[in-house]
Amino acid sequence: MSEEHHDPLNPSVFLTLEDVRRALALRDFDVLAAWQRMAPRPRPLQRPPDREGNAKPAGVLILLYPLNGVLTFVLT
């Protein structure tokens, strides 16, 4: 990310499309570590033995669009 976009927790800092492109191109991205940071806590990492079935595969689709010069998305 560019120097002025260094703090993802600061709401006054905005990501650019180039920031998103660079993030998607990371080669050594640790998916499990990212998931653990975003998962609600407490969150068991393994399915309890008394629960039948398997976890459902899931994904995310995000629409990013410019609005007033800022990269924006909708949460639903």
Domain extent at residue 58: 3-72
Q: How many domains does the chain have?
A: 1
Print pLDDT tens along the chain (76 aa): 444 544 555 556 677 888 888 988 999 989 888 888 888 888 777 888 898 888 788 888 889 888 888 888 887 7
In sequence order, which residues have a C-beta less than 8 Å from that of residue 6 and are 6 or more positions away? 13
User: Smallest Cα–Cα separation from 1: which of 49, 67, 55, 17?
Assistant: 17
The answer to whether 1 touches 22, Cβ cutoff 8 Å, is yes
Cis before 42? omega within 30: yes
